[in-house]
Amino acid sequence: MRTPLEVVIGSCEAAAALLSELADGEGHGLRLARARLHVALCSRCAGVVAELDATIEALRGLGRARPDPHPELVPAVIERIRRERR
Ligand SMILES: [Zn+2]
């Protein structure tokens, strides 16, 4: 049986189904508004959304990261590959 709060803000399962749309920050409509309200009032789902946001932010950071170039290492790497092929 659903609690009165669940009737208003929907279930965790219903909110979870919309988490990726919520994380995108896009999307409109009553379903998403209800899911946002659910997350605002449900500590369990708020934790899931916070982790999802952190993961997305970490992945974006990976996309920006560029390894420092060390051109002086190239000859040594090539030499090592040659040795290991023998
Ligand atoms: Zn929930």
Domain residue ranges in the chain: 4-85
In the reported structure, the alpha carbon of residue 13 is separated from the centroid of ligand 1 by a whole-number distance in angstroms of 7
Distance between Cα 9 and ligand 1 center (Å): 9
d(CA 86, CA 8): 70
Distance 72 CA to ligand 1 centre (A): 54
| Cα 50 to averaged position of ligand 1 atoms, centre (Å) | 13
| Rounded average pLDDT over 38-63 | 90
As a whole number of Å, the CA-based R_g of the chain is 23
- Burial (CB < 10 A; 0-12, 13-18, 19+), residue 35, is buried
Residue 58: how many other CB atoms lie within 10 Å: 9
Q: Is the pTM of this model over 0.85?
A: no
pLDDT tens digits for 6-24?
Answer: 888 889 998 888 887 877 7
Mean pLDDT of the chain: 86
**Can you say how many angstroms the Cα of residue 36 is from the centroid of all Cα atoms in its chain?**
16
